[in-house]
A and B are shown apart, each in its own frame.
Chain A
Amino acid sequence: MADIVVKTEDVVKEYRMGSNILRALDGINIEIERGEYISLMGPSGSGKSTLFNMIGALDRPTEGQVYIDGQNMSHLSQRQIAAFRCHRVGYIFQSYNLLHVRSAHGNVTLPMIFAGIPEKQRNEKAEGLLDMVGLGDRMYHLPDELSGGQRQRVAIARALANDPSIILADEPTANLDTITGREIIDLIKRLNEKQGVTVISATHDLKMLDVSDRIVDIRDGLVERVRNRDEIDIEVGEVGGDGH
Protein backbone atom coordinates (compact mmCIF):
# COMPACT_ATOMS: atom_id res chain seq x y z
CA MET A 1 0.00 0.00 0.00
CA ALA A 2 1.29 3.38 -0.94
CA ASP A 3 2.53 5.69 1.75
CA ILE A 4 0.39 8.79 1.28
CA VAL A 5 1.88 11.97 2.71
CA VAL A 6 -0.63 14.51 1.44
CA LYS A 7 -4.29 13.96 0.73
CA THR A 8 -6.95 16.53 -0.08
CA GLU A 9 -10.67 15.84 0.04
CA ASP A 10 -13.01 18.09 -1.93
CA VAL A 11 -11.01 21.18 -1.10
CA VAL A 12 -12.83 24.38 -1.96
CA LYS A 13 -11.47 27.88 -1.50
CA GLU A 14 -13.50 30.98 -2.09
CA TYR A 15 -12.33 34.57 -1.95
CA ARG A 16 -14.68 37.41 -1.39
CA MET A 17 -13.92 40.30 -3.73
CA GLY A 18 -16.36 43.02 -2.80
CA SER A 19 -19.81 41.62 -3.56
CA ASN A 20 -18.44 38.85 -5.81
CA ILE A 21 -17.28 35.46 -4.64
CA LEU A 22 -14.34 34.03 -6.53
CA ARG A 23 -14.09 30.25 -6.37
CA ALA A 24 -10.37 29.61 -6.70
CA LEU A 25 -10.59 25.89 -5.89
CA ASP A 26 -13.69 23.94 -6.80
CA GLY A 27 -13.30 20.59 -5.06
CA ILE A 28 -9.77 19.26 -5.37
CA ASN A 29 -8.94 15.63 -4.61
CA ILE A 30 -5.34 14.54 -4.84
CA GLU A 31 -3.06 12.10 -3.11
CA ILE A 32 0.70 12.49 -2.99
CA GLU A 33 3.02 9.66 -2.02
CA ARG A 34 6.06 10.01 0.18
CA GLY A 35 9.20 10.76 -1.78
CA GLU A 36 7.36 11.88 -4.91
CA TYR A 37 8.26 14.90 -6.98
CA ILE A 38 4.94 16.47 -7.98
CA SER A 39 4.41 19.46 -10.20
CA LEU A 40 1.16 21.39 -10.01
CA MET A 41 0.78 22.91 -13.46
CA GLY A 42 -1.68 25.43 -14.74
CA PRO A 43 -2.01 28.89 -16.17
CA SER A 44 -2.10 31.99 -13.94
CA GLY A 45 -5.34 32.11 -12.01
CA SER A 46 -5.92 28.35 -12.34
CA GLY A 47 -5.78 27.92 -8.57
CA LYS A 48 -2.43 26.15 -8.31
CA SER A 49 -0.95 28.65 -5.88
CA THR A 50 -4.11 28.51 -3.80
CA LEU A 51 -3.85 24.73 -3.66
CA PHE A 52 -0.19 25.10 -2.75
CA ASN A 53 -1.21 27.34 0.17
CA MET A 54 -3.79 24.79 1.35
CA ILE A 55 -1.28 21.91 1.32
CA GLY A 56 1.28 24.00 3.20
CA ALA A 57 -1.21 25.13 5.87
CA LEU A 58 -0.61 28.71 4.78
CA ASP A 59 -4.33 29.29 4.31
CA ARG A 60 -7.54 27.60 5.38
CA PRO A 61 -9.88 25.93 2.89
CA THR A 62 -13.45 27.20 2.78
CA GLU A 63 -14.66 23.60 2.55
CA GLY A 64 -13.05 20.18 2.45
CA GLN A 65 -10.17 18.61 4.30
CA VAL A 66 -6.41 18.46 3.94
CA TYR A 67 -4.55 15.54 5.54
CA ILE A 68 -0.80 15.56 6.01
CA ASP A 69 0.83 12.45 7.42
CA GLY A 70 -2.67 11.28 8.26
CA GLN A 71 -3.43 14.39 10.35
CA ASN A 72 -6.49 16.40 9.49
CA MET A 73 -5.08 19.93 9.35
CA SER A 74 -8.35 21.55 10.38
CA HIS A 75 -8.19 19.69 13.70
CA LEU A 76 -4.82 21.12 14.71
CA SER A 77 -4.35 23.87 17.26
CA GLN A 78 -2.56 27.09 16.35
CA ARG A 79 0.53 25.79 18.14
CA GLN A 80 0.44 22.49 16.28
CA ILE A 81 0.10 24.27 12.94
CA ALA A 82 3.11 26.47 13.78
CA ALA A 83 5.05 23.34 14.77
CA PHE A 84 3.94 21.67 11.54
CA ARG A 85 5.23 24.57 9.45
CA CYS A 86 8.42 24.63 11.46
CA HIS A 87 9.30 20.93 11.47
CA ARG A 88 7.50 19.24 8.63
CA VAL A 89 7.53 21.62 5.68
CA GLY A 90 10.15 23.70 3.93
CA TYR A 91 8.76 26.53 1.81
CA ILE A 92 10.39 27.99 -1.26
CA PHE A 93 8.74 30.99 -2.91
CA GLN A 94 8.93 32.70 -6.25
CA SER A 95 10.03 35.95 -4.62
CA TYR A 96 12.38 34.14 -2.18
CA ASN A 97 10.75 35.75 0.89
CA LEU A 98 14.01 36.03 2.75
CA LEU A 99 14.04 38.26 5.79
CA HIS A 100 16.14 41.09 4.44
CA VAL A 101 17.28 42.19 7.90
CA ARG A 102 19.00 38.86 8.47
CA SER A 103 22.08 37.54 6.70
CA ALA A 104 21.93 34.33 4.64
CA HIS A 105 23.14 32.52 7.74
CA GLY A 106 20.58 34.34 9.92
CA ASN A 107 17.78 33.33 7.58
CA VAL A 108 18.76 29.68 7.76
CA THR A 109 19.08 29.66 11.55
CA LEU A 110 15.70 31.32 12.24
CA PRO A 111 13.51 28.19 11.81
CA MET A 112 16.02 26.34 13.99
CA ILE A 113 15.65 29.00 16.71
CA PHE A 114 11.89 28.38 16.64
CA ALA A 115 12.55 24.64 16.81
CA GLY A 116 14.61 25.14 19.96
CA ILE A 117 17.91 23.90 18.56
CA PRO A 118 20.94 25.06 20.61
CA GLU A 119 23.01 27.88 19.13
CA LYS A 120 26.19 25.94 18.40
CA GLN A 121 24.31 23.15 16.71
CA ARG A 122 22.21 25.45 14.56
CA ASN A 123 25.20 27.52 13.49
CA GLU A 124 27.00 24.39 12.35
CA LYS A 125 23.96 23.11 10.54
CA ALA A 126 23.37 26.45 8.78
CA GLU A 127 26.99 26.50 7.64
CA GLY A 128 26.68 22.95 6.32
CA LEU A 129 23.45 23.72 4.45
CA LEU A 130 24.79 26.94 2.92
CA ASP A 131 27.91 25.05 1.87
CA MET A 132 25.75 22.41 0.27
CA VAL A 133 23.84 24.96 -1.83
CA GLY A 134 27.14 26.54 -2.87
CA LEU A 135 27.08 29.67 -0.73
CA GLY A 136 29.84 28.77 1.70
CA ASP A 137 31.67 31.99 0.93
CA ARG A 138 28.69 34.34 1.14
CA MET A 139 27.13 33.16 4.38
CA TYR A 140 27.14 36.46 6.19
CA HIS A 141 25.90 38.58 3.30
CA LEU A 142 22.48 40.19 3.50
CA PRO A 143 19.93 39.03 0.90
CA ASP A 144 20.16 42.43 -0.82
CA GLU A 145 23.81 41.70 -1.55
CA LEU A 146 23.03 38.42 -3.32
CA SER A 147 21.84 37.64 -6.84
CA GLY A 148 18.42 36.09 -7.53
CA GLY A 149 19.83 32.60 -7.89
CA GLN A 150 21.86 32.97 -4.70
CA ARG A 151 18.81 34.20 -2.80
CA GLN A 152 16.84 31.19 -3.97
CA ARG A 153 19.68 28.97 -2.75
CA VAL A 154 19.47 30.60 0.66
CA ALA A 155 15.71 29.95 0.60
CA ILE A 156 16.38 26.28 -0.21
CA ALA A 157 18.92 26.00 2.60
CA ARG A 158 16.41 27.64 4.95
CA ALA A 159 13.66 25.28 3.79
CA LEU A 160 15.89 22.34 4.75
CA ALA A 161 16.88 23.69 8.16
CA ASN A 162 14.61 21.45 10.25
CA ASP A 163 14.86 18.36 7.99
CA PRO A 164 11.32 18.62 6.63
CA SER A 165 9.60 15.67 5.01
CA ILE A 166 7.96 17.93 2.42
CA ILE A 167 9.38 20.74 0.32
CA LEU A 168 6.77 23.10 -1.09
CA ALA A 169 8.05 25.24 -3.90
CA ASP A 170 5.82 27.94 -5.39
CA GLU A 171 7.17 28.92 -8.81
CA PRO A 172 10.76 28.67 -7.56
CA THR A 173 12.27 29.46 -10.95
CA ALA A 174 9.89 32.16 -12.18
CA ASN A 175 12.17 35.07 -11.27
CA LEU A 176 15.35 33.42 -12.50
CA ASP A 177 17.06 33.17 -15.87
CA THR A 178 17.03 29.81 -17.67
CA ILE A 179 20.44 28.60 -16.55
CA THR A 180 20.00 29.64 -12.91
CA GLY A 181 16.50 28.15 -12.98
CA ARG A 182 17.94 24.87 -14.24
CA GLU A 183 20.49 24.85 -11.43
CA ILE A 184 17.79 25.43 -8.82
CA ILE A 185 15.67 22.61 -10.29
CA ASP A 186 18.67 20.26 -10.25
CA LEU A 187 19.34 21.17 -6.63
CA ILE A 188 15.74 20.46 -5.61
CA LYS A 189 15.75 17.21 -7.58
CA ARG A 190 18.96 16.09 -5.86
CA LEU A 191 17.34 16.65 -2.47
CA ASN A 192 14.36 14.66 -3.62
CA GLU A 193 16.49 11.74 -4.78
CA LYS A 194 19.17 11.68 -2.11
CA GLN A 195 17.20 12.62 0.97
CA GLY A 196 13.83 11.26 -0.05
CA VAL A 197 12.11 14.60 0.53
CA THR A 198 8.66 14.86 -1.04
CA VAL A 199 8.67 17.84 -3.40
CA ILE A 200 5.46 19.61 -4.33
CA SER A 201 5.95 22.43 -6.73
CA ALA A 202 3.51 24.86 -8.32
CA THR A 203 4.98 25.89 -11.63
CA HIS A 204 4.53 26.64 -15.26
CA ASP A 205 8.17 26.14 -16.02
CA LEU A 206 8.46 23.29 -18.52
CA LYS A 207 11.92 22.46 -17.19
CA MET A 208 10.25 21.34 -13.97
CA LEU A 209 8.23 18.69 -15.79
CA ASP A 210 11.37 16.95 -16.86
CA VAL A 211 12.22 16.00 -13.29
CA SER A 212 8.70 15.41 -11.95
CA ASP A 213 7.34 11.97 -11.14
CA ARG A 214 3.79 13.15 -11.72
CA ILE A 215 2.23 16.28 -13.11
CA VAL A 216 -1.11 17.49 -11.83
CA ASP A 217 -2.77 19.85 -14.28
CA ILE A 218 -5.02 22.36 -12.57
CA ARG A 219 -7.55 24.39 -14.51
CA ASP A 220 -10.34 26.59 -13.22
CA GLY A 221 -9.91 25.31 -9.69
CA LEU A 222 -10.21 21.63 -10.66
CA VAL A 223 -7.77 18.81 -11.33
CA GLU A 224 -7.90 18.52 -15.10
CA ARG A 225 -5.70 15.45 -15.31
CA VAL A 226 -2.80 13.71 -13.62
CA ARG A 227 0.05 12.50 -15.81
CA ASN A 228 2.95 10.24 -15.02
CA ARG A 229 6.33 11.30 -16.27
CA ASP A 230 6.51 8.55 -18.85
CA GLU A 231 3.21 9.70 -20.35
CA ILE A 232 4.54 13.05 -21.36
CA ASP A 233 6.93 13.94 -24.05
CA ILE A 234 8.96 16.94 -23.11
CA GLU A 235 11.63 18.45 -25.17
CA VAL A 236 13.28 20.89 -22.89
CA GLY A 237 16.46 20.93 -24.90
CA GLU A 238 19.82 22.16 -23.84
CA VAL A 239 19.89 25.82 -23.02
CA GLY A 240 23.16 27.50 -22.33
CA GLY A 241 25.40 24.46 -22.05
CA ASP A 242 25.54 22.14 -19.10
CA GLY A 243 23.97 24.52 -16.62
CA HIS A 244 26.94 25.02 -14.32
Chain B
Amino acid sequence: MQQRTPIEEQIDLPFVESLRISFQSLKIRFGRSIITTAGITLGIAFLVSVWTNNEIGLALQESGRQSTINTFEETTEKGISTKDIWLIVMSLIVCVVGIANSMLMAVTERFREIGTMKCLGALDGFVVRLFLLESGFQGFSGALIGALIGTLGAVLLGLKDYGLDLFFYFPLLPAQPEDGTARLGVIVVILLGCVLGMILAVIGSSFPAWRAAKLPPAEAMRTEV
Protein backbone atom coordinates (compact mmCIF):
# COMPACT_ATOMS: atom_id res chain seq x y z
CA MET B 1 0.00 0.00 0.00
CA GLN B 2 1.78 3.08 -1.18
CA GLN B 3 -0.74 5.85 -0.88
CA ARG B 4 -1.25 7.11 2.61
CA THR B 5 -3.03 10.33 1.93
CA PRO B 6 -5.14 11.30 4.93
CA ILE B 7 -8.86 11.45 4.37
CA GLU B 8 -9.85 15.08 4.41
CA GLU B 9 -12.40 16.22 6.93
CA GLN B 10 -13.99 18.96 4.86
CA ILE B 11 -17.65 18.26 5.20
CA ASP B 12 -20.21 20.93 5.77
CA LEU B 13 -23.84 21.94 5.41
CA PRO B 14 -24.38 25.64 6.10
CA PHE B 15 -27.64 26.55 7.82
CA VAL B 16 -28.85 28.62 4.86
CA GLU B 17 -28.36 25.61 2.59
CA SER B 18 -30.28 23.39 5.02
CA LEU B 19 -33.15 25.87 4.96
CA ARG B 20 -33.08 26.02 1.19
CA ILE B 21 -33.01 22.22 0.82
CA SER B 22 -35.85 21.78 3.35
CA PHE B 23 -38.13 24.33 1.70
CA GLN B 24 -37.39 22.96 -1.74
CA SER B 25 -38.29 19.49 -0.52
CA LEU B 26 -41.56 20.75 0.99
CA LYS B 27 -42.40 22.64 -2.19
CA ILE B 28 -41.79 19.77 -4.57
CA ARG B 29 -43.51 17.23 -2.34
CA PHE B 30 -46.34 19.71 -1.85
CA GLY B 31 -49.18 17.18 -2.14
CA ARG B 32 -47.55 14.80 0.34
CA SER B 33 -46.60 17.69 2.62
CA ILE B 34 -50.22 18.84 2.70
CA ILE B 35 -51.39 15.38 3.77
CA THR B 36 -48.82 15.25 6.58
CA THR B 37 -49.67 18.80 7.60
CA ALA B 38 -53.39 17.96 7.53
CA GLY B 39 -52.75 15.30 10.17
CA ILE B 40 -51.26 17.97 12.43
CA THR B 41 -54.01 20.46 11.58
CA LEU B 42 -56.75 18.01 12.54
CA GLY B 43 -55.15 17.04 15.82
CA ILE B 44 -54.60 20.62 16.91
CA ALA B 45 -58.03 21.78 15.64
CA PHE B 46 -59.70 19.16 17.82
CA LEU B 47 -57.62 20.05 20.87
CA VAL B 48 -58.03 23.81 20.50
CA SER B 49 -61.77 23.60 19.84
CA VAL B 50 -62.37 21.57 23.00
CA TRP B 51 -60.11 23.85 25.01
CA THR B 52 -61.57 27.09 23.65
CA ASN B 53 -65.07 25.79 24.13
CA ASN B 54 -64.18 25.18 27.73
CA GLU B 55 -62.72 28.70 28.10
CA ILE B 56 -65.88 30.19 26.64
CA GLY B 57 -68.01 28.13 29.01
CA LEU B 58 -65.98 29.28 32.01
CA ALA B 59 -66.08 32.92 30.94
CA LEU B 60 -69.82 32.94 30.53
CA GLN B 61 -70.32 31.03 33.71
CA GLU B 62 -68.33 33.63 35.59
CA SER B 63 -70.23 36.46 33.95
CA GLY B 64 -73.25 35.26 35.87
CA ARG B 65 -75.18 34.23 32.82
CA GLN B 66 -75.88 30.74 34.06
CA SER B 67 -79.49 31.09 33.06
CA THR B 68 -78.59 30.87 29.40
CA ILE B 69 -76.07 28.12 29.92
CA ASN B 70 -77.77 24.82 29.53
CA THR B 71 -74.58 22.94 28.93
CA PHE B 72 -73.16 23.61 32.33
CA GLU B 73 -75.72 21.75 34.35
CA GLU B 74 -73.09 19.33 35.58
CA THR B 75 -70.53 22.00 36.28
CA THR B 76 -69.12 21.92 39.76
CA GLU B 77 -69.17 25.04 41.85
CA LYS B 78 -65.75 26.07 40.75
CA GLY B 79 -65.14 25.82 37.04
CA ILE B 80 -64.15 22.85 34.89
CA SER B 81 -66.22 19.70 35.06
CA THR B 82 -64.68 16.24 35.09
CA LYS B 83 -66.24 15.69 31.70
CA ASP B 84 -64.38 18.68 30.26
CA ILE B 85 -61.06 17.57 31.74
CA TRP B 86 -61.67 14.14 30.27
CA LEU B 87 -62.46 15.64 26.88
CA ILE B 88 -59.31 17.78 26.89
CA VAL B 89 -57.10 14.85 27.90
CA MET B 90 -58.68 12.66 25.23
CA SER B 91 -58.23 15.30 22.53
CA LEU B 92 -54.61 15.74 23.60
CA ILE B 93 -54.00 12.00 23.23
CA VAL B 94 -55.70 11.90 19.82
CA CYS B 95 -53.59 14.88 18.76
CA VAL B 96 -50.29 13.33 19.96
CA VAL B 97 -50.97 9.97 18.32
CA GLY B 98 -52.22 11.54 15.08
CA ILE B 99 -49.20 13.81 14.66
CA ALA B 100 -46.65 11.16 15.67
CA ASN B 101 -48.21 8.79 13.15
CA SER B 102 -48.17 11.35 10.31
CA MET B 103 -44.54 12.23 10.93
CA LEU B 104 -43.43 8.61 11.34
CA MET B 105 -44.97 7.68 8.01
CA ALA B 106 -43.54 10.74 6.30
CA VAL B 107 -40.00 9.88 7.42
CA THR B 108 -40.19 6.11 6.99
CA GLU B 109 -41.10 6.41 3.33
CA ARG B 110 -37.93 8.45 2.83
CA PHE B 111 -35.37 5.97 4.22
CA ARG B 112 -33.87 5.47 0.76
CA GLU B 113 -33.42 9.21 0.38
CA ILE B 114 -31.65 9.28 3.75
CA GLY B 115 -29.32 6.44 2.67
CA THR B 116 -28.58 8.23 -0.59
CA MET B 117 -27.74 11.49 1.17
CA LYS B 118 -25.29 9.60 3.35
CA CYS B 119 -23.67 8.09 0.24
CA LEU B 120 -23.10 11.62 -1.00
CA GLY B 121 -21.29 12.52 2.20
CA ALA B 122 -24.01 13.73 4.56
CA LEU B 123 -23.29 13.37 8.27
CA ASP B 124 -26.04 11.88 10.42
CA GLY B 125 -26.55 15.34 11.87
CA PHE B 126 -27.23 16.89 8.43
CA VAL B 127 -30.02 14.43 7.78
CA VAL B 128 -31.60 15.00 11.17
CA ARG B 129 -31.31 18.77 10.78
CA LEU B 130 -33.05 18.74 7.39
CA PHE B 131 -35.92 16.68 8.75
CA LEU B 132 -36.12 18.84 11.85
CA LEU B 133 -36.46 22.00 9.78
CA GLU B 134 -39.03 20.46 7.46
CA SER B 135 -41.15 19.06 10.25
CA GLY B 136 -40.83 22.18 12.38
CA PHE B 137 -42.20 24.28 9.55
CA GLN B 138 -44.91 21.75 8.76
CA GLY B 139 -45.77 21.48 12.45
CA PHE B 140 -46.03 25.21 12.98
CA SER B 141 -48.07 26.00 9.86
CA GLY B 142 -50.32 22.96 10.33
CA ALA B 143 -50.88 23.76 13.98
CA LEU B 144 -51.60 27.44 13.29
CA ILE B 145 -54.25 26.56 10.73
CA GLY B 146 -55.60 23.90 13.07
CA ALA B 147 -55.76 26.31 16.01
CA LEU B 148 -57.65 28.88 13.93
CA ILE B 149 -60.09 26.26 12.65
CA GLY B 150 -60.55 24.93 16.18
CA THR B 151 -61.24 28.41 17.56
CA LEU B 152 -63.69 29.13 14.80
CA GLY B 153 -65.48 25.85 15.53
CA ALA B 154 -65.67 26.64 19.24
CA VAL B 155 -67.00 30.15 18.50
CA LEU B 156 -69.72 28.78 16.23
CA LEU B 157 -70.71 26.24 18.88
CA GLY B 158 -70.68 29.02 21.49
CA LEU B 159 -72.90 31.19 19.31
CA LYS B 160 -75.41 28.39 19.15
CA ASP B 161 -75.38 27.96 22.93
CA TYR B 162 -75.02 31.51 24.19
CA GLY B 163 -76.02 33.75 21.31
CA LEU B 164 -74.34 37.09 20.82
CA ASP B 165 -73.52 37.34 24.54
CA LEU B 166 -70.53 35.26 23.60
CA PHE B 167 -68.77 38.21 22.02
CA PHE B 168 -69.48 40.42 24.99
CA TYR B 169 -67.80 38.05 27.42
CA PHE B 170 -65.34 36.50 24.95
CA PRO B 171 -62.32 35.21 26.94
CA LEU B 172 -59.62 36.50 24.64
CA LEU B 173 -57.03 37.24 27.32
CA PRO B 174 -55.94 35.33 30.43
CA ALA B 175 -57.96 36.12 33.54
CA GLN B 176 -57.90 35.22 37.21
CA PRO B 177 -61.36 35.99 38.65
CA GLU B 178 -61.46 36.34 42.44
CA ASP B 179 -63.91 33.56 43.01
CA GLY B 180 -63.62 31.60 39.79
CA THR B 181 -61.21 29.30 37.98
CA ALA B 182 -58.17 30.89 36.33
CA ARG B 183 -58.53 31.03 32.55
CA LEU B 184 -55.77 30.94 29.94
CA GLY B 185 -57.64 33.00 27.39
CA VAL B 186 -58.15 32.03 23.77
CA ILE B 187 -54.95 33.72 22.54
CA VAL B 188 -52.84 31.65 24.90
CA VAL B 189 -54.74 28.50 23.89
CA ILE B 190 -54.00 29.21 20.22
CA LEU B 191 -50.32 29.85 21.00
CA LEU B 192 -50.07 26.70 23.09
CA GLY B 193 -51.71 24.74 20.27
CA CYS B 194 -49.12 26.04 17.77
CA VAL B 195 -46.18 25.30 20.04
CA LEU B 196 -47.52 21.86 20.89
CA GLY B 197 -48.11 21.03 17.22
CA MET B 198 -44.61 22.11 16.32
CA ILE B 199 -42.94 20.24 19.18
CA LEU B 200 -44.89 17.05 18.47
CA ALA B 201 -44.10 17.24 14.75
CA VAL B 202 -40.39 17.77 15.43
CA ILE B 203 -40.20 14.93 17.95
CA GLY B 204 -42.33 12.69 15.74
CA SER B 205 -40.02 13.12 12.76
CA SER B 206 -36.60 13.62 14.30
CA PHE B 207 -36.74 10.35 16.20
CA PRO B 208 -37.25 8.13 13.11
CA ALA B 209 -34.93 10.40 11.07
CA TRP B 210 -32.22 10.02 13.68
CA ARG B 211 -32.73 6.26 13.72
CA ALA B 212 -32.51 6.11 9.91
CA ALA B 213 -29.47 8.40 9.83
CA LYS B 214 -27.65 6.10 12.27
CA LEU B 215 -28.08 3.10 9.95
CA PRO B 216 -25.29 2.31 7.51
CA PRO B 217 -26.43 3.69 4.11
CA ALA B 218 -26.68 0.21 2.58
CA GLU B 219 -29.18 -0.79 5.24
CA ALA B 220 -31.20 2.43 4.98
CA MET B 221 -31.47 2.00 1.20
CA ARG B 222 -32.48 -1.64 1.56
CA THR B 223 -35.36 -0.83 3.87
CA GLU B 224 -38.65 -1.44 2.12
CA VAL B 225 -41.74 0.30 3.38
Contact = CB atoms under 8 A, between A and B. Distances in A.
A113 B17 contact: yes
A1 interface: yes
Given A1-B2, A99-B113, A87 B8 contact: yes
A83 interface: yes
Interface stretch (A52-60, A200-208, A221-229): A52-60
A85 B4 contact: no
Contacts of B31: none
B121 A83 contact: yes
A129 interface: no
Contact of B126 (A100, A102, A114, A142): A114
Nearest to B113: A99
A87 B11 CA distance: 9
Interface stretch (A36-44, A73-81, A187-195): A73-81
Interface in A1-48: 1, 3-5, 7, 34
A182 interface: no
A71 interface: yes
Contact of B118 (A34, A53, A85, A87): A85
A158 B1 contact: no
Given A53-B218, A97-B221, A99-B113, A86 B1 contact: no
A69 B217 contact: no
A158 B5 contact: no
A3 B4 CA distance: 11
B74 interface: no
Contacts of A76: 7
Interface string A79-102: 110111111100101000111111
B11 A83 contact: yes
A113 B20 CA distance: 12
Contacts of B117: 99, 110
Interface stretch (B22-30, B139-147, B163-171, B193-201): B22-30
B148 to A, nearest CB: 29
B24 A102 contact: yes
Contact of B9 (A67, A79, A93, A97): A79
B7 A71 contact: yes
Interface string B72-103: 00000000000000000000000000000000
30 contacts: A3-B2, A34-B3, A56-B119, A58-B218, A69-B3, A70-B4, A71-B7, A78-B124, A79-B9, A79-B11, A80-B9, A82-B122, A83-B8, A83-B121, A85-B118, A85-B119, A85-B120, A87-B7, A91-B120, A97-B112, A97-B119, A99-B116, A99-B117, A102-B28, A106-B24, A111-B120, A115-B10, A116-B11, A158-B120, A162-B121
The 10 closest A-B CB pairs, nearest first, are A86-B121, A59-B218, A58-B218, A70-B1, A53-B218, A114-B121, A111-B120, A116-B12, A101-B28, A70-B4
